[in-house]
Amino acid sequence: MTSPAPAAVLWDMDGTLVDTEPYWMAAEKPLVESFGGTWSHEQALTLVGRGLEDSARILQDAGVRMNEQAIIDRLTDDVMGRFGIDGVPFRPGARELLVHLRERGIKTALVTMSLRRMAQTVVDLIDFPAFDLVVAGDDVTRPKPHPDPYLQACASLGVDPVDTVAIEDSPNGLRSAIAAGGSVIGVPLMVSLAGVGAHVLWPTLEGKTADDVAEFHKHRRAQRQRAPR
């Protein structure tokens, strides 16, 4: 018997749907170095899953003498330039799972802290209608790890957060989705998600289908029903 599907599946973008974190890191290092600073891999990892304004302030602390918006625009332009060369670098299994969700008629949204122009570029390069909605970093007042991005997505889709499944790769993203009340699948990439609170950790999306997401959703719903009130 097929498990009932969630009302919507909400996707993070960088590091979850597409493997762009190396693009961001490759853009950050020369920017810091152009102002005489140094930027390590460990420092770059601290920006994974952060809002762009927070990241820009950290880069300013590292010596980048540009205003926040200029830093955001510079990094976004550099990363978007890679799309023209490499296309959309889907994480293993992500495109296939997204296709299967769409075939099942399950609503999908992209919930990212990247700028809308970058998120829309990624969506436009996907060769099928992948998302019902895009919520980008410049669409929200408070970025991840606040719940606002996911709550905004749910409100726009007309779904209850508790009936949704979110897929995330970063601690800040997980915290955002959990705080919004959704059921959350962690798919780690650059940083560990151990102990952050994901309801399940999948090492990869490869081989996963809408049935796997629905089964996870069913299990989470049963857990909620058993939880003491």
Q: In whole angstroms, what is the distance from residue 116 CA to residue 152 CA?
A: 15
pLDDT digits (tens, 9 = 90+) for 161-195: 999 999 999 999 999 999 999 999 999 998 999 99
Whether the pLDDT of residue 50 is over 90: the answer is: no
Instruction: Name every residue whose Cβ is closer than 8 Å to that of residue 7 and which is 6 or more positions away in sequence.
Output: 107, 157, 159, 160, 163, 164
In a 10 Å sphere around its CB, with 0-12 CB exposed, 13-18 middle and 19+ buried, how is residue 196 labelled? buried
Whether the pLDDT of residue 102 is over 60: the answer is: yes
**122 and 188 share a domain?**
yes
Exposure string (b/e) for 99-109, b if CB count within 10 Å is 16 or more? bbbbeeebbbb
**102 and 118 share a domain?**
yes
- For residue 2, name the pLDDT band (cuts at 50, 70, 90): low
**79 and 130 share a domain?**
no
pLDDT, average across residues 70-82: 94
Residue 3 lies in a domain: no
- For residue 83, name the pLDDT band (cuts at 50, 70, 90): confident
Q: Which domain holds residue 71?
A: 21-86
CATH of the domain at 68: 1.10.150.240
pLDDT digits (tens, 9 = 90+) for 12-29: 999 999 998 889 999 999
Which of 46, 71, 86 is the last residue in one of the domains? 86
Which of 55, 86, 117 is the last residue in one of the domains? 86
Which of 37, 57, 86 is the last residue in one of the domains? 86
**125 and 13 share a domain?**
yes
**148 and 214 share a domain?**
yes
**129 and 191 share a domain?**
yes
Give residue 205's pLDDT. 98
Express as a percent the part of the chain with pLDDT over 90: 86
Residue 1 lies in a domain: no
pLDDT digits (tens, 9 = 90+) for 123-171: 998 999 999 999 999 999 999 999 999 999 999 999 999 999 999 999 9
